Amino acid sequence: MFGKSWRTYIHGTKELIINRLSFGLLLLMASLVIGQLGYTLIEDYDAIDAFYMTVITLSTVGFTEVRELSDNGRIFTSFYIIINLGIFAYAVGTITSYFVEGEFAELYRRFTIGRKVDRLKNHIIVCGMGRNGSRTCEELEKSQRPFVVVELKSESVEQYADTENFQYVIGDATTDEVLISAGIERAEAIITTLPRDADNVFITLTARELNPNVKIIARASEESAEKKLYRAGANQVVMPDAIGGVHMARLITQPSVIEFLNILSGAGTNSLKLEDIMFEELQEPYRNKTLRELNIRQHTGATVIGFRHQSERFTFNPPGDLKFEAGDTMIIVGAERNIQAFRDYYT
C-alpha cells in the first residue's frame, strides 16, 4: 500500500526526473558503444585500447593516444568529440540540476510527505485549494484536526509547503488513485470544494464507493447540482454563493444577528467558540448526569446552547433536567479560555 501510494503521490515529478536522467544515460551509453566500435573497426584496437580511447575522447580530458591515429581515425575522432561535447554537457547538466536546483530535495520532500499521509487515520481530505478550500484548511488547522489537501496545481500549495502538519497530494482528485494516495479508505471525512459541480459530483461518487462510511461535505454552485450531490452520496451540501447572498441581505435586515454570528465564527473582536461535546469524551464521574448536576457554567463559564439525544434533532436552550447519556451530544459556547476550562475539568 505504501509503495503504491508514494508512487501515485509523486508520479509527475518522479517521471519527469527519471525520463531526463534516463535519456542522458542512454546517450552516454550509445556514445560509448559508438566509440568502442569506431576505434575497433577503424584503428583495429583491441577491446581495452578501444575503451580507453573512447573514454578519454568522450570526457575530453586529452590523455596520450594509444598510438598515432590514421587519417580516418582522426576524422572519426574529430566528429566524435563534437558530438560528445553536446552529449556530455546534457548528461552532466541534468545530473547537476537534479541535485543543485532542488529537484532531489523536492522529490525527497514529497516522499516524506507521502509517508506521513500513509500513516494518517481518521483524517480529513480537502479537495481543492481555492478560496473555499483555503478557509477550510485554516479552520481545520485551528481545530488541530489532521487533514490532507488534494490539489492539481502544485503552485497552489507551495506557499504552505513549510507549514508544520500541512500534508498534500498533487493530483486530480476525481481519480481513484489520487484519493487512495490521500488515504480515502482511512479518512473520517472528505470536503470537496472544486469550482466545477461536475467534479464535485464525481469525487462524491468515487469517495462513497471507496469508503462507504466516510462523511462527505460537498460544494455546489447550482441548485440542480445540490440534488445530484445528495444522490451521489454527500452527507451535506454547501452553496457558498447562496450563503453569501443571504449574509449580505441580513447585514441590512438583521445587523445585530450578523454581528453575533461573526463573534461566534471568530470574526469579531471578542470572538466566541462553539464546541460539540460527545458523551464518550466525558470522564466517567460526569457521565449519565443531568445538565443541572454537571453545572457547566459555574465550573467553566461555558454555556450549553444545544442538546441532541442520540439521533434526534437538537434541542436549543435545553432544560437542566436533561440527562447526558450514551450517544448524546451537547453544544457549548464560550471564549477560548472557557472551552479550555471545560476540557480540563470534564474530559
Strands 189-192 and 215-219: parallel
The predicted pLDDT at position 221 comes to 86
CA–CA distance, 75 with 65 (Å, rounded to integer):
15
Flag the least confident range among 74-83, 120-129, 156-165, 172-181. 156-165
Band the pLDDT of 216: cuts 50, 70, 90.
Answer: very high
Band the pLDDT of 99: cuts 50, 70, 90.
Answer: low
The predicted pLDDT at position 8 comes to 47
SS3 159: coil
The predicted pLDDT at position 252 comes to 83
Single-letter amino acid code for the residue at 57? T
Flag the least confident range among 43-52, 195-204, 235-244, 261-270. 261-270
- In percent, the amount of the chain with pLDDT more than 90 equals 12
Q: Which CATH superfamily is domain 120-238 in?
A: NAD(P)-binding Rossmann-like Domain (3.40.50.720)
Q: What is the mean pLDDT of residues 107-119?
A: 67
DSSP class of residue 213?
T
> CATH 1.10.287.70 region(s) of the chain?
2-100
Q: Is 272-346 in CATH node 3.30.70.1450?
A: yes
What is the pLDDT of the chain when averaged over all its residues?
80
> Residue 63's CB: how many other CB atoms inside 10 A?
11
- In percent, the amount of the chain with pLDDT more than 70 equals 83
> CATH 3.40.50.720 region(s) of the chain?
120-238
Counts for the chain of helices (H) and strands (E), in that order: 15, 12
User: Residue 140 to residues 91, 184, 191, 330: CA-CA distances in angstroms?
Assistant: 45, 17, 11, 20
The string of pLDDT tens digits covering residues 45-70 is 888 888 888 888 877 676 677 777 88
Q: Is 2-100 in CATH node 1.10.287.70?
A: yes
SS3 89: helix
Q: What is the mean pLDDT of residues 71-97?
A: 79
Q: What is the mean pLDDT of residues 210-231?
A: 90
- Rounded to a whole number of angstroms, the distance between the first and last alpha carbons of the chain is 36
User: Residue 276 to residues 47, 139, 224, 281, 330: CA-CA distances in angstroms?
Assistant: 79, 15, 32, 10, 6
By C-alpha distance, which of 92, 82, 80 is closest to 30? 80
> Residue 85's CB: how many other CB atoms inside 10 A?
12
Complete DSSP assignment for 283-345:
-GGGTTEEHHHHTHHHHHS-EEEEEE-TTSPPEES--TT-EE-TT-EEEEEE-HHHHHHHHHH
> CATH 3.30.70.1450 region(s) of the chain?
272-346
The predicted pLDDT at position 85 comes to 79
Best-predicted range by mean pLDDT (1-10, 149-158, 177-186): 177-186
The string of pLDDT tens digits covering residues 129-164 is 888 888 888 888 877 888 888 888 877 776 666 666
Q: What is the mean pLDDT of residues 254-274?
A: 71
